[in-house]
């Protein structure tokens, strides 16, 4: 079963390798960088479609697919011009986060995990406030609050079934790690964009891809299907 899942992820893994080989080259055109940046996410969409006819009956697959497609579009906008299309890219990622929150649902609620991630999100916001709370960046203040709230909620819902829980499974653990890595990637990107350049910028992309892969694998293999009433 594990080998079968790995085989399905080969196109995604190869596209990630191609991205890290070609994109750092200064001669790589911007349109090619944008395509290579979103191609691994598109291959994750293809991985979901390997469910075939079960996609329509899987309660998480359509929401996950929407989140991935919005993420891919956000990658394109961010790559084309970080400053000109920054709002566009962040808005698309915000919608992707909403899809992920919808996918994970609100059960179990897990208030302890929520409290833990509220603390992390607050620390995240306070750190960024040193860079954002400037006269020239005032329009981004509320946008940052909303974005941090969304990404923290994604991490909370992804980890609700494992964080501070005695009973867990590998599939649920994948979702937890994916949600946390998505938070790390987002935080590192924001620091690099608004505060100071991150020395190893590849870490942002690497954690982002791993997070998306783990979230996808956990959702597809959750076995959560829609029960249709038959009269």
Give the model confidence (pLDDT) of 172-197 as tens digits. Answer: 999 999 999 999 999 998 888 888 88
Q: What is the pLDDT of residue 74?
A: 95
Q: What is the pLDDT of residue 100?
A: 98
Cβ proximity of 150 and 98 under 8 Å? yes
Q: In the chain, which residues have pLDDT < 70?
A: 1-3, 52-53, 82-85, 134-139, 223-231
Q: What is the pLDDT of residue 63?
A: 95
CA 128 to chain centre: 20
Cβ proximity of 66 and 103 under 8 Å? no
Q: What is the pLDDT of residue 53?
A: 60
Ramachandran class of 165: left when φ > 0, alpha when ψ lies in -120 to 50, beta otherwise: beta
Number of H helices, E strands in the chain: 9, 0
Q: What is the pLDDT of residue 83?
A: 57
Q: Tell me the average pLDDT of the chain.
A: 87
C-alpha neighbours within 13 Å on the C-beta side of residue 190: 27
């Amino acid at each position: 079963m594990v080998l079968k899942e790995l085989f399905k992820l080969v196109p995604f893994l190869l596209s990630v390798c191609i991205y890290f080989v070609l994109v750092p080259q200064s001669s790589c055109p911007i349109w090619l960088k944008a395509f290579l940046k979103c191609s691994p996410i598109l291959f994750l969409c293809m991985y979901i479609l390997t469910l075939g006819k079960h996609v329509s009956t899987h309660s998480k697959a359509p929401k996950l697919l929407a989140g991935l497609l919005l993420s891919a579009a956000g990658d394109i906008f961010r790559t084309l011009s970080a400053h000109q299309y920054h709002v566009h890219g962040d808005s698309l990622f915000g919608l992707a986060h909403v899809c992920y929150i919808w996918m994970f649902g609100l059960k179990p609620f897990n208030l302890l995990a929520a409290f833990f991630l509220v603390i992390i999100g607050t620390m995240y916001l306070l750190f960024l406030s040193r860079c954002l709370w400037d006269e020239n960046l005032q329009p981004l203040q509320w946008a940052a609050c909303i974005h941090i709230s969304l990404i923290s909620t994604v991490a909370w819902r992804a980890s609700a079934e494992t964080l501070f829980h005695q009973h867990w499974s590998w599939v649920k653990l994948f979702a937890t790690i994916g949600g946390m890595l998505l938070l790390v990637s987002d935080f590192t990107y924001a620091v690099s964009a608004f505060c100071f350049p991150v020395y190893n910028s590849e870490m942002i992309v690497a954690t982002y891809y791993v997070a998306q892969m783990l979230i996808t694998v956990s959702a597809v293999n959750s076995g959560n299907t829609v029960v249709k009433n038959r009269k």
